[in-house]
Every structure is written in C-alpha cells, then in structure tokens.
Amino acid sequence: MCPGMEHFTIATVAEKSPDFRRVLWTGKNTQLVIMTIPAGGEIGEEVHEGIDQILTFVSGTGEARVAGEKREVVQGDLVVVPAGTKHNFVNTGPNPLVLYTVYGPPEHADQAVHRTKEEADAAEAAGKDEPPTS
C-alpha cells in the first residue's frame, strides 16, 4: 500500500474483468473490489460483522436480498449493506452481473483474485482470503 492517488475508470475496469472477485485497491480503512457474477450465479448469503459494504452495479440485472427485503438491481443502482446485515446478490438476467463494491474496513486479502465463486469460497475456507491487519 503506497500513498498517492489511485485512479480507475471503474465501469470499464469492472466490465473487462471476467473474474468473480478481484481486489483493486486496499487502504487502511476501505477496500475497492470488482465482481462479475455469471448468469444464474450469486454472491451467496453472508454477513460481514463490523464491515459496511456499498455496491454499485455497472451492468446486468439482478436481485438484491438485504435484511429480508428483495429489490431488482440494474446498471447505475447502488445498495448499502450495513455491518452485521444478512445479504445476497443474485444474477437474474442472461448476461453477467457486474459491480464494484467498497468495504469498510477491508474484507479480503490485498490484491486477491478469485476466478470463480468456488475458488473464492475455497480461499475463504482455507484462511487464504484474510484482510491485511495494521
């Protein structure tokens, strides 16, 4: 982690990534991650204790399931998931659901790349996807 400005043309970067999850930047207090959820796929129901999450959708269509509520999400939508809230995001369309998300504090290993959900789940289960500690 080096000081200075980081600049991303975020929608373009996210659209070009075929990976399920790719950490673009990790700071002391936040982390920027892009995700591509394939047709019929999902992030998987989860809860981040002590971590807020903000997701912005770049392309595709999906369903946000947060705290028992369901809403359609499309390009340009933003969903806030407060720490400790059960959530899942499901691709309901024929094309990939592409998004970028900001975690505060970081949730994943710095510069982690997981090509598929299965790879991401395996890394988490093996303890290989831990955020950096100060």
Question: Sorting pLDDT into bands at 50, 70 and 90, what band is 2?
Answer: low
Token readout for 108 is 């994943």
- Residue 56, φ and ψ in degrees, nearest 5: -120, 130
Tell the residue number behind the tokens 């997701």, with chain if given: 55
On the question of pLDDT at 133 being above 90, the answer is no
Query: DSSP letters of 21-35?
Result: EEEEEE-SS-EEEEE
Beta strands in the chain (DSSP E): 21-26, 31-37, 52-59, 62-66, 69-73, 78-81, 87-91, 97-104, 113-114
On the question of pLDDT at 128 being above 60, the answer is yes
Q: Report which of residues 42 and 134 the model is more confident about.
A: 42
Question: Sorting pLDDT into bands at 50, 70 and 90, what band is 1?
Answer: very low
d(CA 114, CA 79): 22
On the question of pLDDT at 66 being above 50, the answer is yes
pTM: 0.93
